Structure 1
Amino acid sequence: MAIEGDTKDWTWVLQRRCEQCGVDSAREDPASVPALLRDAVGRWQEVLRRPDVRDRPDDATWSPLEYAAHVRDVFGVFAGRLRLMVDEDGPTFADWDQDAAAVAGQYASQDPAAVSAELTTAGLALADAFAAVPAGQWERRGLRSNGSEFTVRTLSQYLVHDVLHHLHDVRG
């Protein structure tokens, strides 16, 4: 069964703690992100080794494998956005429809070992990219196509919430 798309605006996580997962991403800054991402990558590797990795808890919720494939792709999208913010003044990010990506990428049928390797590579590369951003560039800005403004700082906070929230979703 197809999963209903997520149309919520999650930017509120930049202002307050997420009651669902407990993450208070507003407390983080780009300097803390590399360690958080490296830890999360290890936790995702464990999730992807579970025997139930393909099992959906219900018809409306992704399996751990599908969440992991999503996080892998999030790493790639955020790496591109971070690169734009550092290299350009005030870029506008290309649209990314996470639900369309899940369908097109056939997340449910992917190989868990391949997803683990790809997630690891992408997550560690993104950790390194955040580690390379000097503190003087944390307030560089970029825009989503819907007008939501991010800085390198808030992009890192939004990313932290997404990755950790999905670990919470899969009890990772």
Structure 2
Amino acid sequence: MAIEPDTKDWTWVLRRPCAECGVEAAREDPASVPALVRDAVGRWQEVLRRPDVAVRPDTATWFPLEYAAHVRDVCGVFDRRLRLMLEQDGPVFPNWDQDAAAVAGDYEHEDPARVGEELAAAGAAVADAFAAVPPESWQRRGLRSNGAEFTVATLSQYFIHDVLHHLHDVRG
């Protein structure tokens, strides 16, 4: 079954609340992101224990296991992007195609327990990385391959929206 790729530019969540999930990313204090990530990882663990974790809600939607595997990978991508921004001046992030990653990673056939362990580790790593950002570094800049510009602060806000939005998707 082919799920239609998401081609939306979600950077608008940095300017207005998300009508789908209710998250107001721009209002999140970047210093709160580590705690929000840790809380979200705990909620993802509960989702991964549900009996419907591998049940597709409809033909066009990932099932909870796929979303959890995606969030695990998102944590790694944002951890690497954050580190680039802290180590380099104005880096351009390597392109990441989330839909290609889902196919290559065979998300739908992953083991929920393993995804839970990996998500816990990836979530802890990115939470620790954001927690360690020195105050003078929150305005450092980086660019996505499509030209979208982020500061470390807005990267943290954009990231936490993704994690929380997908919890909303799976009713977590």
Instruction: Identify the TM-score tier after normalising by the shorter chain.
Output: over 0.9
- 1:29-54 C-alpha deviation (Å, 9 max, x unpaired): 32110100000000000000000000
Which residue in 1 is equivalent to 2:168?
168
Whole-angstrom CA distance in 2 between matches of 1:83 and 1:29: 19
Partner of 1:115, secondary structure, is: helix
Which residue in 2 is equivalent to 1:44?
44
- 1:74-95 C-alpha deviation (Å, 9 max, x unpaired): 0000000000000100000000
Which residue in 1 is equivalent to 2:94?
94
CA shift at 1:135, angstroms?
1.6
Whole-angstrom CA distance in 2 between matches of 1:100 and 1:84: 23
Partner of 1:41, secondary structure, is: helix
CA shift at 1:155, angstroms?
0.3
Aligned: 1:103 with 2:73: no
Partner of 1:150, secondary structure, is: strand
Aligned: 1:60 with 2:60: yes
Partner of 2:31, secondary structure, is: coil
Whole-angstrom CA distance in 1 between matches of 2:136 and 2:27: 18
Whole-angstrom CA distance in 2 between matches of 1:92 and 1:66: 28
Of 80-89 and 26-35, the range deviating more from structure 2: 26-35
Partner of 1:5, secondary structure, is: coil
Aligned: 1:32 with 2:32: yes
Which residue in 1 is equivalent to 2:116?
116
Identify unmatched segments of 5+ residues in structure 2. Answer: none
Which residue in 2 is equivalent to 1:18?
18
Whole-angstrom CA distance in 2 between matches of 1:76 and 1:29: 21
Partner of 1:128, secondary structure, is: helix
The one-letter amino acid paired with 1:8 is K
Whole-angstrom CA distance in 2 between matches of 1:123 and 1:81: 14
Identify unmatched segments of 5+ residues in structure 1. Answer: none
CA shift at 1:142, angstroms?
0.2
> Cα RMSD between the aligned structures?
0.5
Runs of 4+ in 1 over 2 A off after TM superposition: none
- 1:68-118 C-alpha deviation (Å, 9 max, x unpaired): 000000000000000000010000000000000000000000000000000
Identity %: 77
TM-score, length-scaled by structure 2: 0.99
